Each structure stands twice: as C-alpha cells, then as structure tokens.
Structure 1
Amino acid sequence: MSAQIPETSRLRGLMLVAGREIRVRGLAKSNIISLIVTVVIVGVLAALPTIIGGGDDEDAKIGLTGATAPAMQAQLEAMGGFDITVYDSAADAEKAVADEDVEAAVADGALYSRDGVANDVETQIDSAWQAASVQTNLANAGLSDQEIAGALTVQPLEFVTLESGGASGPLDYFTGLIISIIMFMMLMTPVQYIAMGVVEEKSSRIVEILLTSLKPWQLLGGKVIGLGVISLVNLVAMVAVGLGVTAATGMLGDLPPGTASAAVSTIGWWLIALVLFGTLAGGVGSLVSRQEEAGSVLTPLIMSLTLSYLGAIFLLNAPTSTFAKVLSIVPPFSAIAMPTRMAVADVPAWQIALAIGLLVVAAAGALALGAQLYKRSVLYTGSRLKLKEALRRAA
C-alpha cells in the first residue's frame, strides 16, 4: 500500500516551482528592463495633460479700462486664472501692453497684445467681454442690479439619457479602452511564456528529472502561479505609477467616479482568465517538443484572446447592443469584454454574476483539460501530438 503524500508536501512542491519561475523569469534582465520601460511610458502618459499644458498655473496678467471694466473684472475673477489691473484710460492700458506690464488689455472694445494670446485665454476674455457688455447695457437702460441678475441668470441644460447604460463620456471610453488593452497584454504575455517554458523543459529533458520528485500538476500549477505573480506585480506597478503621477499632477479628481472599482474588478477578471488561458497554454505546449512548433498549438488561444480584445473595442462604441451583452457574458470573451463594458456602461448585476459563473466554470474545465494534456504528453518526445491522441494516451 503506497504512502499518502502529506498536503503540506504537495503545496511545498507547488510553491517551489512557482518560486523558481519568479526567480528565473521575474528577475530576468529582460523582464526588469521591460517593466521599467513600461512604467516610464505609463508615467509619461499620465503626466501628458500637465506637460502639454505646462505654464498654465501662472495667472494671465490682463489690463482693463472703460465703462465695462468693473463688470468684466468680476467676470474674469469668477473664471479664475487672471491677474487684473484696471487703468484710467485706453492709452495707459495700451502703454502697459507695450511695456510688458500685462500680457493683454481690453480697451475701447479691442483686445491689445504684443504678439497674440493663447486660444483658451482669448476665448475666456471674449466671453467675459460679451457678458460684461450685456450687463453694462442693461444697467444703462435703467434696470436695477436685481433685475440685471435675473436677466442674466440662465438655467443650465438638463442632460437626459433616453437609454441608460450608454457610455457617459470620453473619460469613460478612455478608461474602458485602457482596461481592454491591459487585460489583453497581461494575458497574452504569461500565456506565451507558460507554453514556451513547458516546451523548453521538455526539449532539454529537464522535465524528466523534475518529475522524479514532483507531480505533473505541481509543475504546471507552479508555472502558472509563478508567471501569474510576475504579471500581477507588473500590473500593480503600472496602476500605482499611473495613479501616483495622476494624483501628483492634480488630475486624479478628473477621472471617472468608478475608475477605482473598475481597476479592482479587472484584477479579479484577470485572475480567472489567467487560470483558463494559462493552464490550456501549458497543456497544448506539452504536445510539441520544439520551440518552432509552439506557435502552431498556441494559435487557437492567441486567436481567442485577440477576438476577445477586438470584441471589447467594438462594444466601447455600442455597450448596450445585443452583441455586446452576449460577448460580455459568454466565455472566454467575457474575460476582457465584461470589465471593459462595466467601465463604460451600467451593467445589470445578474449579467455580471452570470458572466462570472460561466467564466469560473470554463476556467475549471480548462484547468482539468490542461492538466490532463500536460500529464499525458509532457514526457512524450517526437513529432507533434494531436489533441485526440494525447487524450487517448495512458496517464
């Protein structure tokens, strides 16, 4: 009667393989350089709005004169970002521009400047001029301050969406786009590494030595866990740098309200999807003995990932369409499509629950299939095994 292996020994073997993958792959120079380059790019992209708008923090110095000066000063001060100086005459205001005491001046219905002003500043000054002119004209017509205030008070437009669940704005669209790209990249990389690692160990016959002290499921599971940890660290680093730079530049408040919850939810979807695609990658990788053949067995997985990504991009423009709803529920497409859809639309809770349930079931099935393929094929050497042949082989 064979002795039963303690559960702690099984887990220890699993963690040893995972630790080996982290040391070999995670601490490799190529991965570290790639991570540094990626976080730098993310940081630059997060700071790009501030870089492009650099120098806008300093108030624009504007000179005013004439009958509309008091009303216009009130308008510009309400807008913010202006340092106002009121002059006694148009000549004084024009001289201040020439002497570079102010960037521009409004006098006699004209905007004076040395070599022009920025478009946004020009737009604000023109808006303030028109509002101040109306206010001054109403005062000259004999209206009281209360009557003028009533005449100038306009109720803002009420935004009514006839069909709920549509994308609420450009930031939501951008958030969904970033989520789909990150999900695609963070799944594609470990899937390829898992398959290549299996083929490498098989072709060098190292796997035969490892299997003398480890079970096949420990080798495959440890590889998926190890590469998953590396990808998760990379993902957390990108998110941390992106949010950190955004907060440092004061742009964090401009992000959509659900950005944080969408990011946390994305990690959960990614973990389930990694189990699904990662175990299948290890299983199909064991069907071949050479790196040159790895691409052929990985093609179905790469195609399904690519179609999931393209489908997610499509639903960004039509998140409430029937196609988008189906795509975000049916696995494996839901792994990328549902978190993307959640970022741009209000998704019913039952659809999210159904998508999670189906994806978990699919991941469990993929885990069973991948483990069986690996167990039956990893010691086989020679030409590529077909899927049916591998499943018929004795375990």
Structure 2
Amino acid sequence: MSNQSAETSRMRGLMLVAGREIRVRGLSKANLVSLLVTVVIVGVLAALPSLIGGNEEDAAIGLAGENAPAMQAQLEAMGGFDITVYDTADEAERAVEDETVEAAVADGSLYSLDGVGNEVETKIDAAWQAASVQTNLANAGLSDQEIAGALTVEPLEFVTLESGGVHSTLDYFTGLVISIIMFMMLMTPVQYIAMGVVEEKSSRIVEILLTSLKPWQLLGGKVIGLGVISLVNLVAMVAVGLGVSAATGMLGDLPPGTAAAAVSTIGWWLMAFALFGTLAGGVGSLVSRQEESGSVLTPLIMSLTLSYLGAIFLLNAPTSTFAEVLSIVPPFSGIAMPTRMAITEVPAWQVGLSAVLLAAAAAGALALGSQLYKRSVLYTGSRMKLTEALRRAA
C-alpha cells in the first residue's frame, strides 16, 4: 500500500509541474495568438492549390449536323463541357452570336465570336476527329459493335524504370507543408524547455522546488506540459489542413496515403519531441544565465535545422538512397520520414525500422537528458562543460 501511495505521490508531483506549464504557457495570450495565426496560415496553404487552380466553369458548346450525336458522346466523356444540340447549323451559329454558347460545331466548322482557348480548341478538335471516324464507319455499313471494336484502343501501360517515378507539384507542396509544420512544432517548444530550465535555475526557484519535488519530476513535468500544448497546436493544424482540403475538394486529389501520413505525423512528432525536448532540458541545466543558453542549444538547433533541410532535399528525390537513409536514421527521421511518406509510397519495413530507431533514440535521450538535469541543475557559476556533466552523470 505504501508503494502505491509513493507512486501516486510521484505522479501527482509530475502532473502538478505539467499543469503549471499548461496554465502559464498554454493559456498565455502569446500562445493563443500564435496558435490562431498558425492555424490561419495552414488553412490558407491548404486552400492555395484550389485558389490558384480556380474553379473553371464548363465551356458552353453548341452542336449541329450529322456528327452531333457522336461528338456529344466524345465531349461528355472528356468532361468540362455544357453541350446544347441544335437542329440546324444556322441555329448553332445564331447561338454563338447571341452568346448563348461560347462556340458551336456544325458541318465541319467551329463558330466563335473571338476564338476559344487552346485547351478547349484541342479537345473539340479531338472530339471532332473521333466523331467523324465513328460516323464514317457507320456510313460504311459497320454495326455499332464493330464500330466500338474498331475504336477501342488499349491505353498505354506506364512503366517507370526508376522506382517512385515523377512527382507532381501537389506532391511537393504537401510534403513541404508537413516538413515546415514539423520543424516549427519542434523548434519552438524545444527552445521554451531550455529557456524555462535556465530561468528557474538563474532565479534560484529550482532550489525551492527541489525541496518537495524530484529532479525528474521537474524536467518530466516541463516536457509533458509543453508537449501537451504543442500537441494540441499540432492536432489543430492537421485538422484544419485536412478539413480545408476536404472543403475545397482537394483532398481527393492529394497523393494516395497523404491523409494517413498527415495523421501519422502526430506520432512521429511525439517521438521526435521526446528526443529533442529532454535533451534541451538537460543541456539547458548546464548554464545559469539566459544569454548562455544559445551556446548549449546550438547542437540541438543545428540537428533540427539539418533535419528540416534534409527533408526539403528529399522532396526532389524521395526514392534516392540518401532520402532512404535520412528517413531511417534518427534524429533526422523525425521530420524526414513523415515528409517522405506524404509524397511517395514507403516500404513498410523502412517505416517500421525508422519508428523503432527513433523510439530507441528518444528513450536514450530521455535517460541522458534526465541525468544531465539531475547532476547539473543545482550547479551555479560558469557554464558546466558537457564532458564534466557526463562524468558526473556516469
């Protein structure tokens, strides 16, 4: 019973610290405004492809003459046309003059007031050619079945000699958004953790807190609290991004698996945050002044920056050997793997291996960061060297 009571007491202390971080930082005006601005930016980015592409209306086309039925079938199969069939070529021509339709095809002529766009013209011409062939075959005495057989052509089989193939602009854009969100949602809380540790140490508050709490409760509570805040922000971004994509009709146009990759980003973020967050708390405890925190955070910031730059590189070559290695080896995999998953199909064994290695690295970082914090948080004076802290932690 005493063991259970002690365990409850330890967890209560951990949650008290976490709750304090959530109240102080999570509900602060700065965080709420930052969340609102970020969510709006994500929403705009998610809607951008639709805004750029625009909502093109169907082209109003009039048809008349012998080929009209066959041509109507061809244009309807292509899509993007609002078709009206007229009894005579004169009626079709008058419809163009009255601007009832944008253009009309009758007796081998394309009528328009001032021309049509290249894309529309190309489609109309292709439909005219196919409809003329179909009509000529019918006039030659072929049955509908024979005409269908003559016009049926097997589609090209697409064979890519290198795995992955060519990725569209939308693929690139999706991966870019995920990499940017991951980078932002790791960089900011990691810096907050380190600065919070230094602040408590420089003000000597940590000495008072340690009279009733253990070092691991202080560090763990700080990491959990800021992690909850960042997780809420991340979930909000993913939800808004997917919601806007669905509302604008772009969700179905995203690469297969993009939605799943976006949701799985939360899991990758959790592991990466555990890795960088606990290390940030550990190295932050090596210094006693805020102006010195930058020097101990530099290796972590550089690792995060290199992870982000690596993810940007693999957007152009997601199936290259370098991209595969980068998305498997921690800490780079925390950003690289969800980015890669969003733009190309990744073998299941690579995803599994990457997750296991990142989780193992996070566990190692948790052990190391907590030991650094425990042995150096009460040390005052000049900056403690990492080698000295490691010897003391051994």
TM-score above 0.5, yes or no: yes
Amino acid at match of 1:298: L
Tell me the amino acid that sits aligned with residue 15 of structure 2: M
User: Which stretch shifts more, 148-157 or 60-69?
Assistant: 60-69
Match of 1:6 in 2: 6
Determine whether 1:312 maps to 2:311.
yes
Q: What secondary structure does 2:185 align onto?
A: helix
Q: How does 1:5-84 map to 2 (within 5 A)?
A: 6-56=6-56, 58-84=57-83
Deviations 1:37-58 (A, max 9, x none): 22222222322343345443x5
Task: Tell me: CA distance 1:325–1:134, structure 2 relative to 1, closer, same or farther (3 Å).
Answer: same
Is the CA contact 1:180–1:309 (under 8 Å) kept in the aligned structure 2? yes
Q: Describe the superposition over 1:258-309 as per-residue Cα deviations: whole angstroms up to 9, x where unpaired.
A: 2233233322221111111001111111122222222211111111111122
In 2 relative to 1, CA 292–117 (structure 1 residues): closer, same or farther, beyond 3 Å? Answer: farther
The one-letter amino acid of 2:199's match is E
CA spacing shift, 1:165–1:88, aligned 2, 3 Å: closer
**1:164 to partner: Cα distance:** 4.4
In the alignment, which residue of structure 2 is the partner of 1:378?
A: 377
Counterpart contact for 2:284–2:293, Cα < 8 Å: yes
The whole-number CA distance in structure 2 between the counterparts of 1:310 and 1:394 is 33
* Amino acid across the alignment from 1:334: S
Structure 2 partner of 1:203: 202
Return closer, same or farther for 1:127/1:31 CA change in 2, 3 Å cut-off: farther
Indicate how the Cα distance of structure 1 residues 82 and 49 shifts in structure 2: closer, same or farther if over 3 A, else same: same
Pair 4,385 (structure 1): closer, same or farther in 2 beyond 3 Å: farther
Offset, 1:15: 1.0
- Other structure's SS at 2:206 match: helix
Change (3 A) 1:207 1:112: farther
Q: Is the 8 A contact 1:104 1:112 kept in 2?
A: yes
**Equivalent residues in 2 for 1:54-203, closer than 5 Å:** 54-56=54-56, 58-164=57-163, 171-203=170-202
What does the per-residue CA deviation read over 1:23-76, in whole Å, with 9 as the maximum and x for residues that have no partner?
1211122221221122222222322343345443x5432212233222211212
Q: Check whether the contact 1:167–1:345 (CA below 8 A) recurs between aligned residues.
A: no
SS in 2 for 1:317: coil
Q: Distance in 1 between matches of 2:204 and 2:126?
A: 76
Once the two structures are TM-superposed, the CA of residue 244 in structure 1 deviates from its matched residue by 1.4
RMSD: 2.7
Measure the CA separation in 1 of the matches of 2:151 and 2:96: 31
TM superposition shift of 1:314: 2.6
Q: Does the 8 Å CA contact 1:167/1:173 hold for their aligned counterparts?
A: no
Counterpart of 1:63 in 2: which secondary structure? Answer: strand
Unpaired stretches in structure 1, ≥5 consecutive residues: none
Q: State the 1:162 CA deviation.
A: 4.3
TM-score normalised to the size of structure 1?
A: 0.89
In structure 2, how many angstroms separate the alpha carbons of the residues matched to 1:324 and 1:160?
22
- Check the 8 A contact 1:166/1:345 in 2, yes or no: no
Note closer, same or farther for the CA distance 1:355–1:53 as it changes in structure 2 (3 Å cut). Answer: closer
Taking the aligned partners of 1:335 and 1:180, their CA distance within structure 2 comes to 10
CA distance in structure 1 between the aligned counterparts of 2:273 and 2:166, rounded to whole angstroms: 28
Q: 1:256: which partner in 2?
A: 255
